[in-house]
């Protein structure tokens, strides 16, 4: 992994974020899934705000290998309740909380944890996230369980369609506002500009920083 190249890409992303932010400072979460611990350490050296991981076993092993040289760890993948216990010691922010059982398990294993409620804003059956109609109730359940709900998280449509993407992100931003949540984790390598325009406060970028995954 070429550090100079990644640093240049990160500088470009920071410029894009600064120019496009509509809701205050935007967190850059460098998605290191599929890469080795060297990517996590590189993200740390370059000052990324966070790293994002998708798979429980990979996350635990990689963070252990990274030692102290890593930014805060965000878990952004679909999550089974039986994986929460193993992750509790290494995850700083849980971004894929999409059902009551997961709320309860995180509250049990990591009391007071910081979370985002994941929303399926496109209606695609293969997407994680709770239905739009369940968002308010799940936010309240998480708050009642003592979790620190930072905001909502969503993934844009699988088929790149700028209008569908914009509509999905705008819906999630509106739902966050209605629940009194400042945070919106929206936008990945291919749709950062749209996400920023619709009020994202956290973008999750992997390939645009590190290149294609092995």
Q: What is the DSSP string of 81-143?
A: GGGHHHHTTT-SEEEEE-SHHHHHHHHHHSTT-EEEEEE--S--TTS-SB-GGGHHHHHHHHH
Average pLDDT over residues 181-208: 96
SS3 203: strand
> Does residue 68 have a pLDDT over 90?
no
Give the integer Cα–Cα distance in Å for 212 and 214: 7
pLDDT of residue 139: 98
In this prediction, residue 182 has a pLDDT band, given cuts at 50, 70 and 90, of: very high
Cα 164 to Cα 33, 120, 158: the distances in Å are: 26, 13, 10
pLDDT given at position 214: 79
| CA dist 93 → 7, 101, 119 (Å) | 24, 17, 16
Structure tokens at 83: 């994986």
* pLDDT tens-digit series, residues 115-148: 999 999 999 988 899 999 999 999 999 999 999 9
**Using CA of residue 143, residue 91, residue 27, residue 126, what is the dihedral sign?**
negative
CA distance 207 to 35: 10
**What percent of the chain has a predicted confidence (pLDDT) above 90?**
93
């Amino acid at each position: 992994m070429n550090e100079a190249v990644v640093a240049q890409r990160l500088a470009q992303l920071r410029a894009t974020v600064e120019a496009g932010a509509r809701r205050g400072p935007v967190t850059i979460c460098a998605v290191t899934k599929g890469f080795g611990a060297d990517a996590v350490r590189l993200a740390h050296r370059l000052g990324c705000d966070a790293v994002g991981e998708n798979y429980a076993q990979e996350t635990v092993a990689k963070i252990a290998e990274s030692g102290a040289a890593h930014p805060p760890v965000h878990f952004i993948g679909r999550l089974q309740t039986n994986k929460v216990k193993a992750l509790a010691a290494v995850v700083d922010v849980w971004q894929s909380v999409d059902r009551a059982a997961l709320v309860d398990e995180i509250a049990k294993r990591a009391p007071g944890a910081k979370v985002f409620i994941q929303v399926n804003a496109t209606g695609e059956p293969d997407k994680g996230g709770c239905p739009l109609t369940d968002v308010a109730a799940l936010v309240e359940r998480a708050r009642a369980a003592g979790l620190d709900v930072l905001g909502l998280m969503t993934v844009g449509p699988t088929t790149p369609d700028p209008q569908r993407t914009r509509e999905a992100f705008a819906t999630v931003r509106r739902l966050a506002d209605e629940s009194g949540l400042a945070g919106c984790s929206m936008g990945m390598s291919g749709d950062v500009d749209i996400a920023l325009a619709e009020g994202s406060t956290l973008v999750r970028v992997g390939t645009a920083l590190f290149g294609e995954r092995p």
